[in-house]
Structure 1
Amino acid sequence: MKNTENREKVVIITGASNGMGYEAAKTFAQRGWQVYAGARRVEKIPTDDGIIALKLDVTDSKSNHAFIQHVTAQTGRIDVLVNNAGYGEYGPVEEIPMENVRKQFETNFFGAVELTQLVLPIMRQQAFGRIVNISSIGGDVYMPLGAFYHATKAALQQWSDVLDTEVKAFGIRSIVVQPGGTASNWSSIAMENAEKNLHPNSPYQPLVQTVRAALSGNFGSSATSADLAQVFYKAATAQKPKPRYYNTFTDRLMVHTARAHPKLYIKFFNAVLKQMGKRRK
Structure 2
Amino acid sequence: MTTAVLITGASSGIGRASAERLAKRPGFTVYATARRPEAIADLAAAGAKVLALDVTDEDSMAAAVDAVQEQHGSVGVLVNNAGYGEYGTIEETGMDAVRRQFETNVFGFSRMIQLVLPGMRAAGSGRIVNIGSMGGRVTFPVGGYYHATKYAVEAITDALRFEAAPFGVRATVIEPGLIRTGFGATAARTMAASGEPSGPYAGLRAAADEQMTTAYASAVLAAEPDAVAKAVERAATARRPRARYTITPAAKTIIHSRRLLGSGIFDTYLRLQFRSTK
What is the TM-score when the length of structure 1 is the normalising length?
0.91
* Residue type at the aligned position of 1:44: A
Shift of 1:268: 2.5
2:84 is matched with 87
The answer to whether residue 113 in structure 2 is matched with residue 119 in structure 1 is: no
Q: Is the contact between residue 29 and residue 48 of structure 1 (CA under 8 Å) also seen in structure 2?
A: no
The answer to whether residue 150 in structure 2 is matched with residue 153 in structure 1 is: yes
2:98 is matched with 101
Q: Deviations over 1:235-262 (max 9, x none)?
A: 1111111111022343223212223422
What runs of 5+ residues in structure 2 fail to find an aligned partner? none
Q: Deviations over 1:150-209 (max 9, x none)?
A: 000001101110111111011111111000011122111111011222246422222111
Whole-Å separation in 2 of the counterparts to 1:225 and 1:264: 32
1:73 is matched with 70
- Select between 151-160 and 203-212 the one with higher mean Cα deviation: 203-212
The answer to whether residue 53 in structure 2 is matched with residue 53 in structure 1 is: no
One of 16, 20, 36 as aligned partner of 1:22: 16
Closer/same/farther in 2, CA of residues 236 and 266 from structure 1, 3 Å limit: farther
What is the total number of aligned residue pairs between the two structures?
Answer: 270
What runs of 5+ residues in structure 1 fail to find an aligned partner? 1-6
1:265 is matched with 266
Shift of 1:132: 0.6
* Residue type at the aligned position of 2:3: K
Report 1:119-198 matches (<5 A): 119-198=116-195
The answer to whether residue 246 in structure 2 is matched with residue 246 in structure 1 is: yes
Q: Is the contact between residue 204 and residue 274 of structure 2 (CA under 8 Å) also seen in structure 1?
A: no
Whole-Å separation in 1 of the counterparts to 2:46 and 2:249: 34
1:3 is matched with none
Whole-Å separation in 1 of the counterparts to 2:88 and 2:228: 26
- Report % sequence identity: 39
Counterpart of 2:87 in 1: which secondary structure? coil
Q: Deviations over 1:5-51 (max 9, x none)?
A: xx711111111000010000000001132111111132222233431
Q: CA RMSD in A?
A: 1.7
- Select between 70-79 and 104-113 the one with higher mean Cα deviation: 70-79
Counterpart of 2:161 in 1: which secondary structure? helix
1:216 is matched with 213
Moved over 3 A (4+): none
* Residue type at the aligned position of 1:73: E
What is the TM-score when the length of structure 2 is the normalising length?
0.92
- Select between 103-112 and 264-273 the one with higher mean Cα deviation: 264-273
1:230 is matched with 230
2:31 is matched with 36
Counterpart of 2:199 in 1: which secondary structure? coil
* Residue type at the aligned position of 2:246: Y
* Residue type at the aligned position of 1:216: T
Q: Is the contact between residue 17 and residue 229 of structure 2 (CA under 8 Å) also seen in structure 1?
A: yes
Whole-Å separation in 1 of the counterparts to 2:182 and 2:266: 26
* Residue type at the aligned position of 1:218: A
Q: Is the contact between residue 26 and residue 48 of structure 1 (CA under 8 Å) also seen in structure 2?
A: no
